Structure 1
């Protein structure tokens, strides 16, 4: 980098990135290359916006930072302040909570100044002030000194530099447009030719070069420029030039009047003079069909049928193809149009790219001007007003059978004046917006390709042999780009251009999420650019919502998160979500009948939104904190409903509890376990969000609260993964209580899998930490779990002492549910020892402890233990009735482990009562359910019981069925503890 010390103040911007990085500072200042350059560059690029420290770290170390990264960034910032101090800019570098901010006037940053000047030039051009617009553009372009940020080696910086370089190209193209419109085509030739040589695949430049040559009397050269460009595009991209370039060549071949330079003053005439007997040719403006078009066979057939429907006698058939960026709407429209135009629309086809996703959509008036010229109206005969042009258009095609194709429409208003007025015509519109407001229009959603169709697209472009040789890699590539046709065409074009490259190599290149969008570009086919067109057209609040939604870690999400992320009302958040759906940036996920709508990202759109979030957002941390807090409060509401009161059997952090909407609370309370199951993906993802954002208290609280679900549904993988993520967060923050709570909960998980040594390894340090911190509730839970380890090891005396002490500790903190859990286990020990009287006394005591507001899950545990007591008392019929009622309860709550254990005991009771058929039926059901469990459930006892019932063994190996049922107590401890292991 060069520090410029000789410019006078005010002569040029102080911070210059349009070329090598330059900053006007004091003569004694020195800026070190490397990290200081990168940090300053990032701050300048985001001038007047906070740049997160994590973003700076990523820019410097590209995803592999050292442990001292934050400290090194602080050192860089301090050094930068010293560099800037001599010129009065030291105070401009401000520290914020999440990062750093460079506060400078926009005119002091050349990139900001360039953007403002080019925007002002666009306004002048739209007002018809072409000379002023051209002069302003020349001044803007003169700010550049070479490739943006030349010499700065950082992935993030290079990505921003590429965007800046692209803006320069667009400005130069616009400048050439203005020059040609002003009649300076001869002087423009040299500049256009030089730029085209650097960027031979830019069709806009090629068209400008052709037009400048043609208007300079060099028609043959202009046509040769087209021929060379066409051959290049076919060789490099495997595709024909776009419609506009082909239309320009056709106009040059016929010396069309519209190619003449604009006349100073047009003579208004309505149409051709009466003595002009030339018959205008039928327009054939469709872009070329795609030779390797693949998929959508049913949709193509449906579209043909609708376009050719003659049942509507008064209006044209209007079909709208809507879909997300890159889904292939334009290709599908061209394919369908070619299928119907040959015989069904003999009077021709009109086609126009409306530029709806670009910064300057084509006006309906301009489109009608093009159509009228194509229909034979001289330039002088085209009316000035939009209404008159539309009326003349409808008049000229009133007796024709003509197809109109309008590609990339922005809105209904852009299309409404372009519709024919008779039923002999048809209109095919593509748009990223669902144009449901077009009278008589039918909207069809264009989705991504089916997996087999996506693989077939690869076959058609690169050949069957290459795909067959790496079939698995081909299918993985298809999944990686989410079957998006644009992405698949880019992948296949790159592979076709390099026959020696393997599909596995391409798969490896795309596997890195951080560079996937960078890899999905080839020539002018760029996924990022395609999505950016729609993104840039959104209003700022919708763009921010899209970026914030990318922070969610779940496949689908409910509508309420939008308002929470933006800190606005539910209605406003939902309206913005629907707008994003209309703009095809997110989609509504399939849901059950009557369910509230849920939303989801397409994978590549999520990557784009995440990328923009990393570049643009400085307040995402607060948004994430708000939404994680809501998920935590909802989970706590579910737990409270299940256990009768909050704080029972589970530890919580001290995070602030937000208020929840009444309708959302009502949904949770109706069926808390079902709600937890339904939102499982989002809840587990919220733990990840909290851990990644440094919200350690939220992370551990949510993780342990979710054990109510993990234990009931045997989601041991989720249990372990969420706790490990939360452990990372609490250990990084040095929060001992959260660490102890998580260790205690993981110990309970190991208990459920009978990994007693692992459980004890975690529970002892948890108990020690709780004791040292004076956390009586945590101490009670950890002690109770250690007693459970002793019980499962057969050390009943030690277990009883632990349970009794834990009961006193639970009583001291007012956790009656925790007390009830302990007495359930004490009863189990007493039953095992044969002390039936004491077991009955303590069981009644445990039932009395349950809170009046009810804890169904604790009540279920006690009823299960009561069934064992009844068996011990030889009251088999009563035990069977109790177990049948309990089975209905655990079935309705979809408690898998509970169903297996109740069925197992019920089968044993049926066997004692002599109903061997009923016993066999319920035992088989227990085995089937155990086989469905995600975690292993011991089934040896069930199998032995079933074999005995079926008479496959001569006699039992141990005790009679009643005793066998009683001995299920230790094996069924997972049911009995449920969420008590936290």
Structure 2
């Protein structure tokens, strides 16, 4: 696989014909020992328009592959397993397996301090590659998977170069690292290694040149400055210091507990505006309020107000960036309060801020008062800047003000928030003539302004110095360099009713936007209106393809005409190089007005359905990638719209985390549009993210909306699915009565429908409630029913989860052997499908059973393995629980000093995230250590 696909067996080499057979073999290889559905193979071969004979043609291709492999002495390697096929391979039959084994062993060697051996092993692993994975994988669906593996190879190369630099081999490595930088010029880690190698070789000037070349390239290609690591290296070299670098490779040792719970430093400010023009005196005055002096006793608050389009958010972002790095190093929080739409609640904003400050979702308390206390405690001794954009009233802002004078707050609003005590009010006015001309020159070019000074001044007078209107018109000029400024003045003059409005409030913006809108081609005008129907803070480029039903491979190209005239903003660049887009609020309102005027209601509804179907398709794929298949979740019949990327990125959980707001907005929009089937399916599928990351507030909010939607539509199965998921949520919150109240009616509905899968999920959670209330007999009976249901629908992961939960009861009843049998089956399932989260939970249960059996040494060893896994996943809650369990096992074994050490580490973790209830329990266990009896192990779900 690590290069062009080559198959070699006892009977010799096998030639795989190019085309469909290569694609199918490639998909079976990347999913080796896992079932690949026929539907997946059909989608990969024909995208969205498969022929009626697609399944038959797949069967023919598989049959031919079998004959080819049989000829090479590799008979019966492809099994037919519902719902598709599985390629069976031993661990030593695939070069990818050798590569992964080498990198894994190197990680262990690094932890043991055997750097030279680790570097040699990584170099050997990288040498296994003969070119791009799967020969570059011309098929789009297969290429996504292959690129993920190519990224692992590049990380491996960087890792061994980094280790070899540590070993003092900088002279030898300069040429190799230079070549790597040439091959990947936008990747910052190789450039950092090159700077280090050159500097350590006494070539400081060349090291600085490497930095400057990289910076110029990043600015030119992406409009971004180099990252923190490169800037620190440059500063160290310029200062004559010996530069060091933090290890960032995949082979770095897992952090200790003290490292994983360091306070989070959020960096949430939106991008600054490169061509910003504003009143410097006003900015200095506002800056002095934020920075303050050593003796001030109150938080500094600046409130920026002004008419729509005057640039309040732009000024706030620019002001925040001016003071952030030097004066507020502990972080910057930012939130759009949506004052002009549906205002965000204080409870919701506090929840998001606490997550950004490092508090895991399950630890965040319910209620405004409790959240407010935690928020102000976290900020008490930190220097943090809070930016609250588009506030509606003082009541929305007051609770979000920190209590410490070391912090500061910037607020923007369309209203004068004079009720905020001690706040400095900054009311923005339109730009003066000199400022407007400067802004015009920055956008269209100074030479054009100097060439037509009278026309430039006339143009400024025409738009009244309003920044948004001026930017819109200047963008048209910039996009059409053959137009003169005088011609633009004439165009505006021909619309005298619009010119009259241009000097008066909101209508002026509508008129200016209409000029830009009318200059777009037909397709761009259609997209301008339809794109505004998307909810969420910022949308990825594929949304353009969805609303237009355009399946081109790079749908973001459709958006470029809108970006060129600045009616759409590019707000960020993804690691994949894709862009994210956002309308300004007023622009979105204007675009929606145009959509209502020009696009039939049926076409608008169809666009929304495709858009939400795209989010559902991506969420489905992410769930399958995480769980190893379509397991442990219910789905509906709503149509999907498959984005051209073919699925979620390599790290599906990180993708879902990054799209949290968009997924929640999509659920809300589906509910509002009456798309009840899509609404409940998307809400339930998103639980994969909510549960893994502890986003319990979002879980509850989306499901409340979905429940209202399905009940209003009389959707029985949707109602049952949402209630069942809410039951799981309440268990996570420790609300067992509320969970039972949701699960029992869900079970009744599933029984009416004869839905075996839904019943299995309900019985699993009802068993967990019974177990937690001490009714093990009922729990075992319900677990048996759940197992039968999961087995009937072939949900192997659902079955494995139940086996893991049931084993704790069996072990407590003395049935150690039976518990171990269950756990062995569960672990085999998780490993076969690649569900690492399930494997960690099962391994933890194995350790608990070992502890119950008195096998304290084995339990300790197993728990340490799980501890490494949760630390690698940066699961702070799981880390605290594992440290506590290790302390309990050590105490049971009579190793009181070791138990104290583990429990003190666990206490430090809980105190850092302000989990006071768990901390109090641990303190009690520490106080009881002289007593030799072991505390009862706490079973995590």
TM-score by length of 2: 0.48
TM-score by length of 1: 0.46
